[in-house]
């Protein structure tokens, strides 16, 4: 049967959370697939405390470090977990424990993603390199399978925890943010908010805490953490100290209601320290005294931590008697605690050490000017620090003792202690140098692993889009590539911008030409109308001069009809061919009524032609007919003939043929007077310009050719080809 590994996500941890006094412990239980497990029974062995997980798998239980949690479902035990002073759990069953830890040594080729994640979580505190190795392996497996947001969120959360433990807070923030992108859970938000604070991103941390505070699912225990975090952020800014106190007091109120003693002590201390920052020592001391009262019921180590913070406050305010009394009290309590440690290795080792307390007491006496009282404590601190390998405390104690002897006029003793101090400084320097080398080596290794993890994430994203991408370069190479890519994108963007600008200029010029052409057409049409009217009025004048009143009236009637049609169509570029034929028939009728003895005419339209399907510029045919009558047929001695034939060339083209048997273009030119030869035909010039402009605007829809019919240059044929509009 497959063993289920229960995953507990710590919602908050502090130094006091794993002390010997029961505290509130909140966690989340999920199965090996990461699914929250509701209605799971959590029992603290030996105390009878029992709770059930809610619908989100969360529970809160009062426990302490070393307590055993019995996890059961439907009356059947599914796991046993022991709390310790690390942020990960231990599986009580030795067989399960060995199986769990053996994952790091066996081949991970066949390991599932959940097993790799469990291993990464197990080693994230004790062996960061190994934990990151499991994270890299899990991402490698995930990148080759279907995207799983829950698993990706877990992986990057663990990676953020690793970097947070290594105090690489910028990397912790980056990975928590990535985890939050895959799963927006409150547990990740708490971690990210804390990492923001540690990385000095106070505004971002405050924003995240405010978002959590507005979440209706947040428990009252979690609100304590939120208000404390908001207070920590505000306390970093001198102009927000009042806001910090306000947040701390809100958290303190909840902690007192729920009787969370460690948080009561911690928040009282922080409020006192903030009042001290504001320059209000009396108010600060009141809260610090409250800290002392609330820590009385706590375990020795928790009380020692609180006392040490208050003693530091007394030292900073030069209240050395109070500082000495409080540190001596703490030292006496720790002696009993340290004796327990010697007898029982399972008891948590003290965080506040006796050698450090002896040094602080001696230092306080020295600051007070009481050299005789300071010396024994500093000497005892040196002996204890040497026995316990606490070189830093030993160094500081030797330095202060040397200063004490020098102040007391004991030059030999001062020199001796100073020499011991100098030798110890050399030893510490060598240790620090080695630590730096180790840290650099570890940093390089972690950087390489982080780079590989980044590459795996890119591979996973590209595999989702079915692209193959591999990246194994170092961070400097990646940054260089990013810069090169930015330059290329900038060049491509500039090129696109240039192309768009050229296109816009081309389109603008085209529109400008179109506007100019439209203006020119309008101008040409406005010139055509007076020209035509002038010629028509000349015809009326000829009737009047002949005293033919009836003919003049009849002519004027037809002329008015023609003018109305001409004016109606004068603003359009194209009109139906049928309308142009009507205009042409009316015009020829007027001219024939004047020159009845000069010519006859016929207009023939192809029966198959749908004249309404074709469009033609208005008054386009009239100038050619006018030329045929006035310059060809009018000067012929015998009666001439004008023929207009409109026929369909193909489905898209119409051919209009205007034929006359007049005297021809050459003979007509000879008959012109010298003045007339100097004047160019206004109507024909206008019509040529109109055709040129229309062809430019409408893709060569019109074509006109003029030829002589006979070898003697008599007779004229005008052929106009018209294409159908697209």
In a domain, 81, yes or no: no
Question: What CATH number should be reported for the domain holding residue 329?
Answer: 1.25.40.10
Q: Are residues 445 and 585 in the same domain?
A: no
The proportion of the chain whose per-residue pLDDT surpasses 70, expressed as a percent, equals 76
In a domain, 239, yes or no: yes
| Domain boundary, last residue among 432, 461, 490 | 461
Question: Are residues 303 and 266 in contact, defined by beta-carbon separation less than 8 angstroms?
Answer: no
In a domain, 490, yes or no: no
Q: Are residues 605 and 705 in the same domain?
A: yes
Q: Are residues 621 and 710 in the same domain?
A: yes
In a domain, 675, yes or no: yes
- Whole-number pLDDT of residue 16: 36
Task: Please measure the distance between the N-terminal and C-terminal CA atoms of the chain and give it in whole angstroms.
Answer: 78
- Mean pLDDT score, 158-168: 88
- Whole-number pLDDT of residue 645: 93
Which domain covers residue 404, as residue numbers? 319-461
Q: Are residues 307 and 326 in the same domain?
A: no
In a domain, 693, yes or no: yes
- Whole-number pLDDT of residue 664: 84
- Whole-number pLDDT of residue 204: 92
Q: Are residues 271 and 405 in the same domain?
A: no
> What confidence tens digit (pLDDT) does each residue in 661-673 have?
888 888 887 776 5
Q: Are residues 290 and 342 in the same domain?
A: no
| Domain boundary, last residue among 417, 439, 461 | 461
The proportion of the chain whose per-residue pLDDT surpasses 90, expressed as a percent, equals 9
Q: How many domains does the chain have?
A: 3
pLDDT-derived band at 47, boundaries 50, 70, 90: low
Give the relative orientation of helices 281-294 and 261-277 as an angle to the nearest 10 degrees.
Answer: 170
Q: How many CA atoms lie within 13 A of 453 on its CB side?
A: 24
Q: Are residues 562 and 429 in the same domain?
A: no
Q: Are residues 308 and 354 in the same domain?
A: no
> What confidence tens digit (pLDDT) does each residue in 430-460 have?
877 776 766 666 667 667 766 767 676 666 6
Q: Strand 23-30 vs strand 58-63: parallel, antiparallel, or unpaired?
A: antiparallel
Q: What is the pTM of this model?
A: 0.46
| Domain boundary, last residue among 461, 485, 510 | 461
Question: What CATH number should be reported for the domain holding residue 633?
Answer: 3.30.565.10
Q: Are residues 253 and 361 in the same domain?
A: no
pLDDT(602) > 90: yes
Kindly list the strands in the beta sheet with 41-44, ordered across the sheet, starting from the edge strand earlier in the chain.
50-52, 41-44, 68-73, 76-82, 90-91
Q: Are residues 312 and 444 in the same domain?
A: no
- Whole-number pLDDT of residue 519: 55
Token pair 């201390």 is found at: 269
In a domain, 328, yes or no: yes
Sorted by sequence, the CB contacts under 8 Å of residue 646 that are 6+ apart come out as 577, 581, 603, 604, 605, 606, 609, 611, 654, 655, 656, 657
pLDDT(541) > 80: no
Can you spell out the DSSP letters for 297-329? GS-HHHHHHHHHHHHHHHHHTT-HHHHHHHHHH
Q: What is the average pLDDT value for the chain, to the nearest integer?
A: 77
- Whole-number pLDDT of residue 719: 92
In a domain, 302, yes or no: yes
- Whole-number pLDDT of residue 618: 82
Cα angle 472, 474, 478 (rounded to 5 degrees) comes to 90
Q: Are residues 558 and 665 in the same domain?
A: yes
Q: Are residues 565 and 601 in the same domain?
A: yes
In a domain, 168, yes or no: no
């Amino acid at each position: 049967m497959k063993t289920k590994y229960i995953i507990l996500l710590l919602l908050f941890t502090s130094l006091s959370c794993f002390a010997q006094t029961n505290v509130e412990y909140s966690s989340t239980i999920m199965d090996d697939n990461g699914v929250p497990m509701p209605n799971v029974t959590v029992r603290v062995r030996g105390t009878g405390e029992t709770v059930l997980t809610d619908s989100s798998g969360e529970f809160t239980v009062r426990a302490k470090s070393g307590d055993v949690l019995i996890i059961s479902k439907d009356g059947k035990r599914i796991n046993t977990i022991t709390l310790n002073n690390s942020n990960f759990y231990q599986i009580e069953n030795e067989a399960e424990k060995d199986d769990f830890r053996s994952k790091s040594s066996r081949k991970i080729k066949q390991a599932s993603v959940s097993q790799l994640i469990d291993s990464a979580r197990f080693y994230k505190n004790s062996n960061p390199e190994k934990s990151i190795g499991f994270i890299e392996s899990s991402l490698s497996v995930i990148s080759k399978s279907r995207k799983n947001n829950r698993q990706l969120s877990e992986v990057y959360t663990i990676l953020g925890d690793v970097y947070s433990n290594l105090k690489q807070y910028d990397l912790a923030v980056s990975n928590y943010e990535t985890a939050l992108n895959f799963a927006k859970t409150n547990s990740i938000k708490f971690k990210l908010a804390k990492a923001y604070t540690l990385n000095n991103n106070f505004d971002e941390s405050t924003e995240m805490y405010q978002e959590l505070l507005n979440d209706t699912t947040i428990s009252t225990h979690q609100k304590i953490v939120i208000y404390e975090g908001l207070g920590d952020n505000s306390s970093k800014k001198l102009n927000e100290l009042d806001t910090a106190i306000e947040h701390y007091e809100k958290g303190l109120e909840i902690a007192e209601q729920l009787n969370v003693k460690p948080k009561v002590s911690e928040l009282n201390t922080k409020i006192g320290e903030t009042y001290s920052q504001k320059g209000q020592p009396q108010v600060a001391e009141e809260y610090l005294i409250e800290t002392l009262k609330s820590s009385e019921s706590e375990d020795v180590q928790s009380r020692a931590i609180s006392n040490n913070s208050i003693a530091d406050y007394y030292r900073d305010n030069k209240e050395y008697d109070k500082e000495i009394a409080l540190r001596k009290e703490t030292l006496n309590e720790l002696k009993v605690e340290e004796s327990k440690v010697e007898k029982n290795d399972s008891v948590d080792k003290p965080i506040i050490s006796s050698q450090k307390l002896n040094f602080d007491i001696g230092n306080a006496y020295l600051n007070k000017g009481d050299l005789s009282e300071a010396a024994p404590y500093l000497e005892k601190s040196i002996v204890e620090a040497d026995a316990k390998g606490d070189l830093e405390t030993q160094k500081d104690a030797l330095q202060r003792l040397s200063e004490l002897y020098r102040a007391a006029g004991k030059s030999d003793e001062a020199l001796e202690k100073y020499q011991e101090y100098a030798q110890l400084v050399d030893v510490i320097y060598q240790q620090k140098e080695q630590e730096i080398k180790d840290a650099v080596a570890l940093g390089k290794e972690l950087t390489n692993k982080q780079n590989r993890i980044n590459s795996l994430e890119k591979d996973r994203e590209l595999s989702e889009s079915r692209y193959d991408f591999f990246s194994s370069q170092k961070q400097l190479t990646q940054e260089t590539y990013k810069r090169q890519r930015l330059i290329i994108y900038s060049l491509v963007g500039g090129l696109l911008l240039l192309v768009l600008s050229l296109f816009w200029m081309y389109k603008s010029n085209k529109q400008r030409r179109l506007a100019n052409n439209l203006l020119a057409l309008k101008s040409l049409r406005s010139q055509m109308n007076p020209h035509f009217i002038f010629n028509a009025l000349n015809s009326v004048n000829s009737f009047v001069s002949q005293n033919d009143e009836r003919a003049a009236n009849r002519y004027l009637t037809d002329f008015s009809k023609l003018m109305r049609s001409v004016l109606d169509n004068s603003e359009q570029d194209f009109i139906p061919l049928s309308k142009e034929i009507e205009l042409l028939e009316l015009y020829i009728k007027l001219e024939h009524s004047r020159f009845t003895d000069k010519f006859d005419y016929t207009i023939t339209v192809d029966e198959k032609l749908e004249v309404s399907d074709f469009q033609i510029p208005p008054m386009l045919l009239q100038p050619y007919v006018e030329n045929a009558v006035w310059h060809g047929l009018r000067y012929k001695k015998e009666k001439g003939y004008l023929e207009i034939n409109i026929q369909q060339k193909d489905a898209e083209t119409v051919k209009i043929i205007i034929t006359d048997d007049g005297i021809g273009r050459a003979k007509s030119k000879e008959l012109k007077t010298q003045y007339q030869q100097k004047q160019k035909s206004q109507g024909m010039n206008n019509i040529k310009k109109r055709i040129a402009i229309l062809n430019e605007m409408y893709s060569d829809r019109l074509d006109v050719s003029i030829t002589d019919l006979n070898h003697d240059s008599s007779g004229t044929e005008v052929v106009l080809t018209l294409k159908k509009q697209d």
